[in-house]
Amino acid sequence: MNVTKAVVTAASRKQRALPLQRLVDSDGEEKSVLSIIVAEALRAGIQEICVVVCPDDQEVYAEAAGKYGAGLTFVEQTEPRGYGHAVHCAEEFCADEPFLHLVGDHLHVSDTDISCAQRLVQVAESQSCSVSAVQPTRENLLPYYGVVGGKRVAGIPDLYQVEMVIEKPTPTEAEQWLIVPGLRAAHYLCFFGMHVLTPMVMEILGERSTAALSDAQITLSEALNALAQRERYLAYESQGQRYDVGVKYGAFLAQMALALNGADGEDVLARMLQLLALRESRGTRGGA
């Protein structure tokens, strides 16, 4: 399997401005979230990138992508029918080929010299099947993620055979269906915000889009659960950190991670320590 295409979803009506936010990247340059995501895909060997946007957002997104804007393909999600439907809007672009999928409100910082997306693509190509990046996550964060259940693949560290996918399960549902042997207690494999998916996913999403009522929401998690029943589907435990810029303090935490992981990391850390020392000093004087 050779993965050369990527689909970035950025069509949520409530979160359409998130990929346009600007942060200072690890190289010290100010960039939009979208351009940082596009660069992640390109480092993974992707050659063609499609961005799914709301109607009339193409121009502002192309501008936000900076030097990458002219090389992007834009597709509009004309109806707000959910995350899975947004992915399916790129079906013609994907043209029955596997694709890397990234979400427009998540940034990733790798713990190694290989980027998170690059490593995921390597795993998918070596295994010749769909692979979703996951990360062990505390039970109290289940309301924010899709979660997979399954079992470890024998002899391959950090790889799991997916048997079930549930979107934002309750703790009871997770305990009943999604416990993975070997994980810490009260931890589950939650989606990391990136996937490599085979054409079968587009087929399943197409079936659901056709069968559903016109205003029904099409979810990606339901399609991935169906995928697990039709063909081999794996989850890879990513060695990195995800940052959802759409949650409270999410953009701030993403900025800190990018800064500390970059060329100015030592300087940023020194300044943070100075701020903490000043805060501690003020607290001590106040108590006195």
Two structure tokens written together for 210: 């056709």
pLDDT > 70 fraction of the chain, expressed in percent and rounded: 98
Give the pLDDT confidence score for residue 14 in this predicted structure.
83
- Mind listing the pLDDT tens digit for each residue in 45-76? 999 999 999 999 999 999 999 999 999 999 99
Look at residue 176 and tell me whether its pLDDT is greater than 80.
yes
In this structure, the number of other CB atoms found within 10 A of the CB of residue 203 comes to: 17
The DSSP bridge partners found for residue 151 are 161
Cα–Cα dist 134/233, whole Å: 13
Cα–Cα dist 5/75, whole Å: 14
Q: What is the mean pLDDT of residues 247-275?
A: 91
Give the pLDDT confidence score for residue 286 in this predicted structure.
58
Give the pLDDT confidence score for residue 258 in this predicted structure.
94
CA dihedral 93→43→108→228, nearest 10 degrees, is 50
Q: What is the mean pLDDT of residues 91-111?
A: 96
Two structure tokens written together for 5: 């295409």
The amino acid sitting at 179 is: I
Q: Which domains does the chain have, with CATH numbers?
A: 5-263 (3.90.550.10)
The DSSP bridge partners found for residue 138 are 187
The amino acid sitting at 49 is: I
Two structure tokens written together for 23: 């942060």
Residues 62/74, Cβ–Cβ less than 8 Å: yes
- Mind listing the pLDDT tens digit for each residue in 117-156? 999 999 999 999 999 999 999 999 999 999 999 999 999 8
Look at residue 288 and tell me whether its pLDDT is greater than 60.
no
Cα–Cα dist 18/184, whole Å: 33
- Give the three-state DSSP class for 151: strand
Cα–Cα dist 87/83, whole Å: 7
Residues 99/9, Cβ–Cβ less than 8 Å: no
Give the count of alpha carbons within 13 A of 138, CB side only.
2
Give the pLDDT confidence score for residue 284 in this predicted structure.
62
The pTM assigned to this predicted structure is: 0.93
Look at residue 169 and tell me whether its pLDDT is greater than 80.
yes
pLDDT > 90 fraction of the chain, expressed in percent and rounded: 83
